[in-house]
Amino acid sequence: MKVKFNVCLCDDEDTRFFGEGPYRLLCGIRDYGSLRTAAQNMGMAYTKAFGLIKRAETTLGFSLTQRTIGGKGGGGSVLTEGAKELMMRYEAYKTACEQMAENLYNTHFSSFQPQKFADAENKDTEQ
């Protein structure tokens, strides 16, 4: 048994706008210089990836990428300084949450023994 959770950022109406998906897309843009390539590597449609990034940009009020349109070398994208800071803060927050969740899990579940209850139920049904 282990704890598993997702970290996401929501707007004031509790609508999710940033989490692991957009974060991984930004990592892909950083690594490949292309939203299309980042989406392909995640097995995600470009239109969905574009929509996720656009929703985050709209909610945050600033651009996450700077795009260049086609041409001789093809188009591409690079991360803005705002995107880089958002990613850094998201990584740090997520790591802190994971550490705290692990500590809380250990506090509340380290002595919990599910097998004890399964054994008791099996004994009850055998009688």
Tell me if residue 125 falls in helix, strand or coil: helix
Phi-psi map region of 61: left, alpha, beta (phi>0 left; psi -120 to 50 alpha): left
Across the range 76-105, mean pLDDT stands at 96
pLDDT of res. 18: 98
Could you state, in order of their start, the residue ranges of all structural domains in the chain?
8-83
**Are 20 and 28 contacting, i.e. CB atoms less than 8 angstroms apart?**
no
Q: What is the largest CA-CA distance in the chain?
A: 80
Using the predicted structure, report yes or no on whether residue 58 has a pLDDT greater than 80.
yes
Across the range 68-85, mean pLDDT stands at 85
Instruction: Read off the tokens for 93.
Output: 């927050």
Across the range 40-50, mean pLDDT stands at 97
CATH for the 8-83 domain, from 3.30.565.10, 1.10.260.40, 1.10.10.10, 2.30.30.230: 1.10.10.10
- What pTM was estimated for this model as a whole? 0.83
